[in-house]
Each structure stands twice: as structure tokens, then as C-alpha cells.
Structure 1
């Protein structure tokens, strides 16, 4: 009985460790860019007005856009992917002239689709 209990505990522990180890493996998030990051400034009192700023990995300001009349739902994967694509487009444009740009509609065009 004692040997059977030890075997059962060891087997249960092994199965627990194997299942939790495989559950910890995550794939890379598709909404994360390798060229930079974005910051959204908003206000609880005026949720339809947002300022979006894009930065490079070196923390240099690349682009700023003001969105009026649009409520961003940042928890949605589609919105984060659209922001990532706009970030990458603005970094490419920034690399050509090295000057921060404003309100070229990189974000608003993508969010309307």
C-alpha cells in the first residue's frame, strides 16, 4: 500500500510538472514591433480624444497624431496590430528625413478599415 501510494504521488507530480512546463511556452505577440513602440495619451473625461506618439527603440520621437471622435479599444488585438503597422510605416518615413512628423493620418486611415 505504501509503495503504491509513493508511485501514485510520483506519477501525479510528474504529470503536473510536464503539463505546467508546456503551458508556459508562449509565442511572440503579433502586435509587438521590433522597430519601436507607441504611447496613447487619453483622458477619462474625453475618451474620444487621443494623442498617439510613436518612438524608436532608442526612445526618439518619430510621429505624433491626434485622433478626435474615435474611442480606441486598446485591449483588442486588431487595434494593437493596426497601431504596430502604423508605427512601422512612420519609422520608415522618419528614417528618410530624421524629423518627427505630425498628423499624416497613419493611424486614422488604418482604424477606419
Structure 2
């Protein structure tokens, strides 16, 4: 575990929230420009770039955060902190199917 204290995890959360806020601000500006484009190919190219950027930022950021917290294994198993919620959500102790579906969606785009 690289980040060993609760304070480090809170710092990681704060940094993540700042990154998300900055991403949202730039995304709004980018979308305003996107609305002015009439060429379908250009719009598809821009949208494809957005999808890849979002996957790298959000997916990569999540993986980096889990790695820094020494909990990379949580990517395929429901975190123990959320076990009480499984009673409300049903059988969600294994998210491999969800991840597989997301990967097929990304590859098939």
C-alpha cells in the first residue's frame, strides 16, 4: 500500500474532485465549440476523442487511485465497505460481467 493513512485517502479524493471539476469546466467550453460544427465526420472524430479522453481520465484515474491505496483487487470484487449494501442491491459481489460488458462496448464503438 503506497498511501497508508485515511488522510492520504482523503487527499487522493480531494485531488480527484479537483481534476473532475477542471475536466467539467473544459468539457463545457469544448461542447460549446462542438455545437457550432456542422460536418458530421468532424463531429464524430471529436466525439470519439472525448470518449477516449474520458476513459483514460476516469478509468485510468480510478485504477491509479486503487493502486495507490493498495486495493487494485477491488476492480473485480465488491469492496468490503459496501457489503451491507449488497442486501439492497442483490447479488453484486462480482462485477466482472459489468467490466466485460463495458470493454465490449468500448471495443465495439
Query: Which is richer in strand?
Result: 1
Larger radius of gyration: 1
Tell me the TM-score normalised to structure 2 length.
0.25
Structure 1 or 2: larger helix share?
A: 2
**Larger RCO (CA within 8 A; separation ≥ 6):** 2
